[in-house]
Amino acid sequence: VGGGALPTVELPTTALALGTTEQPAQALDERLRLGHPPVLGRLLDDRLLLDFRTILSADLPALASALNRL
């Protein structure tokens, strides 16, 4: 979770991992951040992770549209 009273607690989640040799994760991250609406993920081990713990159901159509534009 981070700091405070629970610095070592981990929350279960599911993430979509993006990135290939043809479309590196860092380039995908930049394209998604500059889109409308911006999509923010996190980079880990040459993959862009979109954490579904942080995505609201109402935001899924906009996310799907942003991913289709890649």
For position 2, what pLDDT does the model report?
62
Residues of the chain short of pLDDT 70, as ranges, are 1-3
Residue 18 CA to residue 24 CA, distance in Å, equals 8
pTM to 2 decimal places: 0.82
For position 55, what pLDDT does the model report?
92
CB 26 within 8 A of CB 37: no
